[in-house]
Amino acid sequence: MPENAPPEPVTPEPAAPTPAPLAETEFPGMTSFPAATAGEPREVREGDVLNHLYQVRRFIARGGMGQVFEGVNINNEDERVAIKVILPHLARDPNVLAMFRKEARTLTRLSHSALVQYRTLAMEPQLGVFYIVTEYIDGRNLSDVLSTIEATPAQLISLIRTLAEGLAVAHSLGAIHRDISPDNIMLESGRLDRAKVIDFGIAKDLDGGSQTIVGDGFAGKLNYVAPEQLGDFGRQVGSWTDVYSLGLTILALINKRDVNMGGSLVDAVDKRRAGPDLSPVPAEVRPVLEGMLKPNPADRLRTMEDVIAALGDRTTITSAPPAPPPKAAKAPKAAPKPKSPVVAGSDEDKQRKMLIGAGVAAAVVLLGGLGYALSSGDDTAPADAATSAAPALPAGDPLKTAQAVLNGGLASVSCSWLDVSDLQVQGTDVALAVKGVAGRPVDAQNEIGKLLSAKGLRAASIDFSDVSQISPNDCGPIEAFRQIRGQGASHISVPQVKWELAPLPADDADAGKLGAPVVLNIDLNGVDGDIAVVGLEDSGEMTFEPRLDRATIEPAKVSPGVYRLPVTTTHPGWTGVFLLYGKGPFDQSLLNGSTSTRGGNWAQRFLAEARAKGWQADTVWYKTVNERPD
């Protein structure tokens, strides 16, 4: 970390004559702007308030119809929303706007737990922009986690049923989606059983002769569209079109990767006529997918009701026990749990809401460095008997046994920082959800299964959809820091996991580079001793910031013991930030450098110092991306 510099605001500087000071403003950047002149809509920025109701909080993505932001109802901070701002050239077309209004009348009537809830279509008169507001889904995109989910037949059946029931509601109101694919399925809290269909932006009204914003031609992603969307079978699009795309989406989940149904348009047509390979599909699900993926719509399951009927009474695939199983037990909230980093899909600011206040006098810059390969185990921490020893297992209580195994065993899962977010036990079958980071999520998942199996428990389901994969270069440091992991609630968090890289302003020390203004929230209540902050990049490079201690962060205080630190990150990819606390001073030689420069016995030296001085560590992970055109 280089020399500290003045903090950068998280939101752009408001274009107002005398904006309110940050510390006195409940929502930074909430100021009035001159009304946009006709035909000159201004680009929406973070901090804008639309129609005196929704404040734009952060950019999420750019799509074919516009930009998507996270926002909040300023009259109710608990109401988070997604705001899709329609592209100016579409908003200027009266025919397009008429179609938007017609679709909005349908979409705002959709009401099902498996469908994103549409709120309104509106125009912001001062900015001259049209936008659509939907509920905000705090979770993960199915496309992003395909490779990490191990879905059981029972989970697949449940997911098909849930999504089919939701889409049946949409179809009953006269709208089909036409773009069902993994990236239009959101997993609330990262869970398959909370899947929601999003982005009905190209939905088609089923009234005769109706059009859509994209017309009657191709709409959707080439890998997942139905044959009729490519011109086959009379180009007749209907509920059966969503049936086909849903089938391919489920197939992708089973294969743990996107289906290979694209290429050129000719290739895509030929692949659909030949049909996808269904050999990996579990026998319990295969007949349903076969019916959903018939090339000819006339032979296909025609409606979502047909899909639900085809599922019949299919449920989980387990042998019937000799007696009715006990009711599923859920882990009590009082059960001790290790802490976890904030990663994609988790939202630690729900647990510790931070007031937005004065910035620190200097911002930390976490710079990108050269890539280094992880040397052959030299940087790996030795096993800690205190954390790897098997705990005494309670007799006769599978739930308590599972808790004991996981509380003691997660610390031994290689190259990971994990936490159990949900645990259910029925008989000897264990279903759990895990969150955190891992260098090799599949290996970590298998290790957890073996831990349970060794104690006579069966891992019926291990949901890793909320575990993000980090670079193997980070394995050595994360193994060492994990052995001094703090107890209780984490003392470091971020308000969001993904941060957009953008050109840094001219007055920045790194002007011209791409950087992301990340915010670290640090809560030192209950923390004794000195503190240190260490950054860890994808390359395995560690960077110690000696200027961040209790005295220097005091200007960043937003409430007693609570601090808000802006940091600028100039490299793409994952970054881990470790908060060390205990007896100082902290030896910089132990907290800086790459795998090669730290030396082969670094982990042993670090842990010896850490234990001698009673150090503990918390961590948070975030990802910097460049998804928005600069």
- 75 SS3 class: coil
Number of domains within the chain = 3
Identify whether residues 496 and 422 lie together within a single domain.
yes
Q: Is residue 543 part of a domain?
A: yes
Measure the CA–CA gap between 115 and 190, rounded to whole angstroms.
Answer: 16
- CATH number for the domain harbouring residue 47: 3.30.200.20
Q: Is residue 188 part of a domain?
A: yes
Q: Tell me the β-bridge partners of 564.
A: 521
Please tell me the predicted confidence (pLDDT) of residue 128. Answer: 84
Identify whether residues 131 and 155 lie together within a single domain.
no
Which residues, 6+ apart, have CB-to-CB distance to 541 below 8 Å? 369, 370, 372, 593, 594
Tokens of 576: 């881990």
* End-of-domain residue from the set 96, 117, 135: 135
DSSP 26: S
- What are the pLDDT digits (tens) for 163-221? 999 999 888 888 888 889 998 999 998 899 999 998 875 444 444 334 443 444 444 56
- CATH number for the domain harbouring residue 247: 1.10.510.10
The CA-based angle 73-141-108, given to 5 degrees, is: 45
* End-of-domain residue from the set 290, 311, 332: 311
Please tell me the predicted confidence (pLDDT) of residue 88. Answer: 80
Tokens of 401: 């046994």
Residue with tokens 């990802």: 623
Measure the CA–CA gap between 239 and 164, rounded to whole angstroms.
Answer: 11
A 10 A CB-CB count for 449 gives: 17
Q: Is residue 18 part of a domain?
A: no
Task: Answer whether 537's CB lies under 8 Å from 366's CB.
Answer: yes
Q: Is residue 161 part of a domain?
A: yes
Q: Tell me the β-bridge partners of 135.
A: 81
The alpha carbon of 340 is separated from its chain's Cα centroid by a whole number of angstroms, namely 15
List Cα–Cα distances, 326 to 27, 316, 323, 362, in angstroms.
Answer: 50, 16, 9, 58
List Cα–Cα distances, 150 to 31, 459, 493, in angstroms.
Answer: 47, 11, 28
Identify whether residues 143 and 130 lie together within a single domain.
no
Question: pTM of the full predicted structure?
Answer: 0.46
Q: Is residue 199 part of a domain?
A: yes
Identify whether residues 120 and 144 lie together within a single domain.
no
Burial class (CB in 10 A: 0-12, 13-18, 19+), 607: buried
Identify whether residues 375 and 404 lie together within a single domain.
yes
Q: Is residue 343 part of a domain?
A: no
Question: Phi, psi (5° rounding) for residue 455?
Answer: -110, 20
The CA-based angle 437-501-84, given to 5 degrees, is: 90
Task: Answer whether 428's CB lies under 8 Å from 398's CB.
Answer: yes
Please tell me the predicted confidence (pLDDT) of residue 352. Answer: 31
Measure the CA–CA gap between 552 and 539, rounded to whole angstroms.
Answer: 28
Q: Is residue 47 part of a domain?
A: yes
Identify whether residues 150 and 275 lie together within a single domain.
yes
Domain that holds residue 462: 348-625
DSSP 549: S
Amino acid at 131: Y
Identify whether residues 579 and 436 lie together within a single domain.
yes
Report which of 312, 628, 368 is spatially closest to residue 500, judged by C-alpha positions.
Answer: 628
The contacts found for 236-239 with CB under 8 angstroms, 24 or more apart, are 236/297, 237/176, 237/178, 237/204, 238/176, 238/206, 238/297, 238/302, 239/167, 239/171, 239/176, 239/302, 239/303, 239/304
- What are the pLDDT digits (tens) for 48-59? 999 889 999 999
Q: Is residue 331 part of a domain?
A: no
**Torsion, Cα of 224, 229, 231, 237 (10° steps):** 140
- 524 SS3 class: coil
Please tell me the predicted confidence (pLDDT) of residue 554. Answer: 86
DSSP 230: G
Identify whether residues 54 and 187 lie together within a single domain.
no
Measure the CA–CA gap between 114 and 158, rounded to whole angstroms.
Answer: 12
Measure the CA–CA gap between 92 and 80, rounded to whole angstroms.
Answer: 28
Identify whether residues 456 and 568 lie together within a single domain.
yes
Measure the CA–CA gap between 433 and 192, rounded to whole angstroms.
Answer: 10
Task: Answer whether 219's CB lies under 8 Å from 212's CB.
Answer: yes
Identify whether residues 103 and 158 lie together within a single domain.
no
List Cα–Cα distances, 274 to 181, 258, 278, 298, 394, in angstroms.
Answer: 20, 18, 12, 16, 55
The CA-based angle 78-83-87, given to 5 degrees, is: 170
Please tell me the predicted confidence (pLDDT) of residue 233. Answer: 87
Residues of the chain predicted below pLDDT 70: 1-41, 63-64, 201-221, 313-396, 628-630
* End-of-domain residue from the set 258, 283, 311: 311
Please tell me the predicted confidence (pLDDT) of residue 98. Answer: 75
Cα of first residue to Cα of last residue in the chain, in angstroms, is: 25
Identify whether residues 377 and 418 lie together within a single domain.
yes
Identify whether residues 177 and 269 lie together within a single domain.
yes
Measure the CA–CA gap between 420 and 436, rounded to whole angstroms.
Answer: 9
